[in-house]
Amino acid sequence: MNDVFKEQIVKRHPTSKDTLKRVGLVLAVFAVMIITFMLITPFAPVVTLVAGFGAWFLMSYLRVEYEYAFTDGELDIDVIYNRSRRKRLFSAKVKDFEIMAHVEDKMRMGEFQGAAETLDYSSGVVSNDTYAFLTNYKGKRTKIIIEPNAVMLKAMATVLTRRKLHVKP
């Protein structure tokens, strides 16, 4: 049997929204610290430590990587938070994709406009490796954006027909 297994990790670039969340968490910790010390309670240091730990824990969810795993015609996409916590986001057979093309492919943009929902599992920065595919996922026509490298694309090309896969030259 000819088993195919390819995997790839893509790190999401921090956005301005992520920066605002970090600043908001730090400001919230300072506000909690000031309020608890103004009330002159004996538990002020404990409350401040708990708030600080909570902010640190929430900030760890802002460090995001996506793992693509292609196994015998099936694509699995997991999110990894802070290089320690993993969650499955997507799993489907690649042969069921309606179309896969580069996100800036002007000839194929019309085919993606019928999507009910768009999910971005890429680094967040459009590059030569940024592709989108259209599939039926959880009962909806969904456009999913990923960043497969050349090895992953080559493996997917063994399952997708030329009519469905449009690789950027």
Judged against a pLDDT cut of 70, whether residue 7 lies above it is answered with yes
pLDDT tens per residue, range 83-93: 889 999 999 99
Contact status, residue 8 vs residue 68, Cβ threshold 8 Å: yes
Which of 7-11, 74-78, 158-162 shows the lowest per-residue confidence on average (mean pLDDT)?
158-162
Other Cβ atoms closer than 10 A to 110: 8
Question: Which residue in this structure is represented by tokens 């959880």?
Answer: 138
Phi then psi for residue 37, to 5 deg, are -75, -25
Q: What is the mean pLDDT of residues 30-37?
A: 88
Contact status, residue 99 vs residue 88, Cβ threshold 8 Å: no
Contact status, residue 125 vs residue 103, Cβ threshold 8 Å: no
Q: What percent of the chain has pLDDT over 70?
A: 98
Contact status, residue 154 vs residue 88, Cβ threshold 8 Å: no
Q: pTM of this prediction?
A: 0.83
pLDDT tens per residue, range 103-131: 888 888 888 888 889 999 999 898 888 99
Judged against a pLDDT cut of 60, whether residue 1 lies above it is answered with no
Summary mean pLDDT of the chain: 88
Judged against a pLDDT cut of 60, whether residue 3 lies above it is answered with yes
CA atoms of 50 and 32, how far apart (whole Å):
10
Q: What is the mean pLDDT of residues 150-161?
A: 87
DSSP 38: H
The confidence band for 2, taking pLDDT boundaries of 50, 70 and 90, is low
Contact status, residue 135 vs residue 92, Cβ threshold 8 Å: yes
Which amino acid type is present at position 35? Answer: I
Q: What is the mean pLDDT of residues 118-145?
A: 90
